[in-house]
Amino acid sequence: MPYKFNDARRNKFPKAKYRVTNCSEYNESLRQRGDVTLWVSDDVVQNWASPRRKTRGGQARYSDLAIEICLTLRAVFRLLLRQTQGFVLSIAKLMGIDLAVPDFSILSRRGKG
């Protein structure tokens, strides 16, 4: 087994020691780890809805940009599709923007392309 390769002499390897030299900077960096700041530009809000198609068929309700933003947030925060829908909805609510958020099934279908 590869994880047991050095098992017989594991206690002979020196343990790595780390020393914090500036405690105030270290504490501040630990505090900032939990900070989540999102910024949504006005261009995104204006281009959230899909433009009307000139061809036959159903009209897309959300633009490719909206789907891409939702799926990017999903990848960054490692969310499931339903959690992504709720997360984007809560961001829109916090920002005071009235956006129609794509359903998880729409994200699934349009995310494959």
Supply the range of the domain harboring residue 41. 2-111
Sequence-distant (6+) residues with CB within 8 A of 111 are 67, 71
Identify the CA nearest to 102 among candidates 74, 41, 42: 74
How far is C-alpha 28 from the chain's CA centre? Answer: 23
What pLDDT tens digit does each residue of the chain (113 aa) get? 566 776 777 677 677 777 778 888 888 888 888 777 777 888 888 888 887 777 787 767 888 899 999 999 999 999 999 999 999 998 888 888 888 899 999 999 988 86
Q: How many domains does the chain have?
A: 1
pTM of the predicted structure, to 2 decimals: 0.65
